[in-house]
Structure 1
């Protein structure tokens, strides 16, 4: 069964997405949606990474709230920085952050979080995975930013994926 339907929730999501995007429930679109929804996970199953084991689901919920809050706050900080850029230009810089994370799924989650929060961009992961280089739009204290980043994002991901 796993071979015919490797990711049932993904298949269902693809069927629904197809029908919503095409805005049609005609028999032809329904057939195409099911073909697409069931064929794509089978074709791309070899490319999917191993399923991560999430050890602390409540930490996931807390991390989602933290990231949501940080996105809202960072949007306001970036807006304020843009509005006062003539008086005080942003202190943009590249920051290298040492990482304790090693799990590929955790690193993928960290890169997504970094990219979603305005003002930070994931630039480069060291070949050995020991550090990441970020571009930070406005920071005056590099050490404080590193401590904040590790505490807010890396520590929960370590708990979720590796502890």
Structure 2
């Protein structure tokens, strides 16, 4: 991936020098032409195109923002209820993520979402222990994390 990014920047700079256009617009045109050339030459690369990973990162960011807004609304509803009818719980979340940065990212995304906190990661890093402020169904919460954050992290990290 890093090679493709560097190649794209080098192609953009070469375009700037060939066209004698040393502006941001000249660089942008060169960058777009570089992307087109990299797409054309994709069969020569052993890894997937870096644009796929960039798109996966953008999708992960959008998923996090959506979950952040929904969790804020849910916590606001819990706080504004006249009677505290919460069902706080600890639950174990088994993960299929293997790399340390993936597990750290998943833990951070869960913790940054209001109403949930990762309190411990097992020694073998296969289980995250999560506290939720108000949870109705543990299996539903596990499925929600797996289908949103974990799936998006796997898409970002695949080669």
TM over 0.5: yes
Contact 1:54–1:160, Cα closer than 8 Å, also in 2: no
Change (3 A) 1:144 1:59: same
* Equivalent of residue 80 in structure 1, options 53, 77, 82: 77
TM-score by length of 1: 0.63
Instruction: List alignment gaps of at least 5 residues for structure 1.
Output: 1-52
| Alpha-carbon distance between aligned partners in 2 of 1:75 and 1:100, rounded to the nearest angstrom | 27
Cα distance in 2, alignment partners of residues 72 and 115 from structure 1: 14
Q: 2:54 aligns with which of 52, 57, 61?
A: 57
Q: CA RMSD in A?
A: 1.9
1:77-156 aligned at under 5 Å gives the runs 77-84=74-81, 86=83, 88-156=84-152
| Residues 152-163 of structure 1 mapped to structure 2, 5 A cutoff | 152-163=148-159
Q: Using structure 2 for the length normalisation, give the TM-score.
A: 0.64
Superimposed CA distance per residue, residues 113-139 of structure 1 (whole angstroms, 9 cap, x where no aligned partner): 111100100111110011100001111
Count of residue pairs the alignment pairs up = 110
Larger radius of gyration: 2
Q: Which residue of 2 aligns with 1:71?
A: 68
CA distance in 1, matches of 2:71, 2:110: 11
Could you list the runs of 4 or more consecutive aligned residues of structure 1 that deviate by over 3 angstroms after TM superposition?
none
Separation of aligned partners in 2, 1:140 and 1:96: 15
Deviations 1:65-106 (A, max 9, x none): 1111111111111011111151x5211100101110011111
Structure 1 counterpart SS, 2:55: helix
> In the superposition, relative to structure 1, how do residues 128 and 77 fare at CA in structure 2: closer, same or farther (>3 Å)?
same
- Distance in 2, matches of 1:67 and 1:147, equals 16
